[in-house]
Amino acid sequence: MAESVTVREVGPRDGLQMAKTMMSTGANQRWIGALVAAGVREIEVGSFVSPKKVPQMADSAVIVRSSLAFPGLHVVALVPNLRGAQDAYAAGAHRVSIPVSVSEGHSRSNVNRSPTEQVAEAGQVIEWLRDQERKVIVEAGCATAFGCSIDGIIPASAVVAIAEGLAEAGVDAIALADTVGYGNPAQVKAMIRAVRDAVGDKLQGLHLHDTMGLGIANAYAGLEEGIRHFDAALAGLGGCPFAPGASGNIVTEDLVFMLESMGFKTGIDLGCLIAARDLLHEGLPAEPMHGQTAKAGIPRTYAIAA
């Protein structure tokens, strides 16, 4: 039996928030529909943040609600605080993802709190959600875990301390995020080992950016360390409005190509995934689209190997 890997599409959240133009709600819904049709089973569809700070995410409640109509789709929303988590719960999200920056500078820029204060905020989210009728999975993403464009080098001990705080607060899952894309494969491996030593199987995901061209190599390093849950964005969209220098997420198409070529099962049809780029382009015609797999086309060796 081939082993499964979850590829979570974060383009509708991490991608759209960085786009220079706004995607209409309808175009966003059609794009998400195309991703689901390609076999994507987990999508971060939006973010419950202030529409003044990130106007592209103003329709997130609508997008969460309409996404619930897709059977089997795991609908994820980013929430920076309790208020966001309450809104995400009301909209019906299956999972919330709380960003917790390890770097002080990025934490203040992103959520206007220190890392420790944001761990406490995550605790409040967990407590509030625990009292609700419907179970919502709470994930925290340790942002800037591999370096920060504001604070520079981030020591592993700082990442471990935040992960430990989050585990104590009761999060269901922890992801390590290379928010600005400065990480390298050796560092990814070492960081996974250090964090896993501290929090065990709570460490589940990797969120990688391709700023320096090492994104897919870093994903491979994570895969080798047993990570089976990766964020990625179609056409490599994304970045962080509060992290100067960050560029796009790793490209979903290239990641799926790698995983399936290596014998992992993603459940995603690569041809249909590439076709979903058309819907993205319709919704954001001015946005540059990245990715080598879409440019080269699927090689004849792929179907046989997969």
Residues assigned a catalytic role:
240
Q: Which of 15, 141, 147, 165 binds a second copy (CB under 8 A)?
A: 147
Query: Which segment (77-85, 158-166, 192-200, 288-296) binds a second copy by CB under 8 A?
Result: 288-296
Residue from 261, 267, 272, 281 that binds a second copy (CB under 8 A)?
261
235 forms part of the interface with a second copy (CB under 8 A): no
Q: Give the one residue of 217, 227, 273, 276 binding a second copy; rule: CB under 8 A.
A: 217
254 part of the interface to a second copy, by CB under 8 A: yes
Residues 163-182 that bind a second copy (CB under 8 A): 180-182
Asked whether position 2 contacts a second copy by CB under 8 A, the answer is no
Judged by CB under 8 A, the stretch of 38-46, 58-66, 114-122, 296-304 that binds a second copy is: 296-304
Subset of 187-216 contacting a second copy (CB under 8 A)? 187, 210-214, 216
DSSP the chain: -PPB-EEEE-IIIIIGGG-SSPPPHHHHHHHHHHHHHTT--EEEEEE-S-TTT-GGGTTHHHHHHHHTTSTT-EEEEE-SSHHHHHHHHHHT-SEEEEEEESSHHHHHHHHSS-HHHHHHHHHHHHHHHHTSSS--EEEEEEETBTBBTTTB---HHHHHHHHHHHHHHT-SEEEEEETTS---HHHHHHHHHHHHHHHGGGEEEEEEB-TTS-HHHHHHHHHHTT--EEEEBGGG----TTSTT--PBPBHHHHHHHHHHTT-B----HHHHHHHHHHHHHH-TTS----HHHHH---HHHHHH-
**Cβ at position 259, least distance to a second copy in Å:** 9
